[in-house]
Amino acid sequence: MWERTFRRAKLPLAYSQGFHPQPKIQQASPLPLGFLSDYEIVDFFLEQEMDILPLEAALNNSLPSGISVNSIIKINLVEPALQTQTIASEYHILFLEEFDSNKIIESIQDLKSKKTVIRSRRGKSYDLRPLILDLEIIMEDSCYLKMLLKSKDGATGRPEEVLSELNIPVEFTRIIRKKIILAYEVQNNN
């Protein structure tokens, strides 16, 4: 999708060397099928420098409906790769069906009290508990679950796994990624 968008926008996207040149586009963390997102991060390399405003306009004109660029920042080439900088993802889980908030509060407390939560994914077992950095139910005008899950290579917490532990069927929810948290942001906050 990105590669075609850049081509439509006639932007000088850089490609890798070799027999099968790949476009130099890197995602912080691929968004799983069926999720919504307010906040995705993509790094891309151009063959030449460009001003941000025309770049943003060109991309927004060529993107399919449903995706738009919020901001573009120029970064130093020596910065570490986006995937290595990615630490965590924050999700909001909205409910599409009626639910029992007390039951959910109980399930959350239960889950948080456990030291380990062994689950199996794609035939491999893993511990979900340390991947849950934060989990709470927010009850304002609308009710939703807020989750902060670790998002690193080999250790990525998935919202559906947490929902499964809470006995909430995924078809009754809408999952929105609200933020991807990068290493330098954590440092800055400390």
**Would you tell me which residues interact with other proteins (CB under 8 A)?**
1, 3-8, 10, 21, 33-34, 62-66, 96, 170-172, 174
Q: How many helices (H) and strands (E) does the chain have?
A: 6, 10
Which residue is associated with the tokens 């993509």? 42
The runs of H, that is alpha helices, within 78-174 are 82-85, 101-113, 159-165
Nearer Cβ to other proteins (3/127): 3
Rg (CA), the chain: 19
Shortest CB 97 distance to other proteins, Å: 8
Q: How far apart are CA 144 and CA 91, in angstroms?
A: 10
In whole angstroms, the minimum distance from the beta carbon of 86 to other proteins comes to 24
CB of 159 within 8 A of CB of 151?
Answer: no
Closest separation in Å from C-beta 76 to other proteins:
29
Instruction: Tell the smallest beta-carbon distance from residue 181 to other proteins (Å).
Output: 26
Tokens 């007390």 sit on residue: 102
In the complex, minimum distance from the CB of residue 184 to other proteins, in angstroms, rounded to a whole number: 32
Q: Closest separation between CB of residue 28 and other proteins, Å? A: 20
Q: Which is nearer to other proteins, 56 or 160 (CB)?
A: 160
Give the Cα separation of 37 and 92 in Å (integer): 10
Q: Which runs of E-coded beta strand occur in 31-117?
A: 36-37, 42-44, 86-95
Nearer to other proteins by Cβ, of 45 and 152: the residue is 45
- Cβ distance to other proteins smaller for residue 39 or 172: 172
Strand-pair partners of 181: 88
CB nearer to other proteins: pick between 8 and 24: 8
Residues in the chain, overall count? 190
Which residue lies nearer to other proteins by CB, 170 or 183? 170
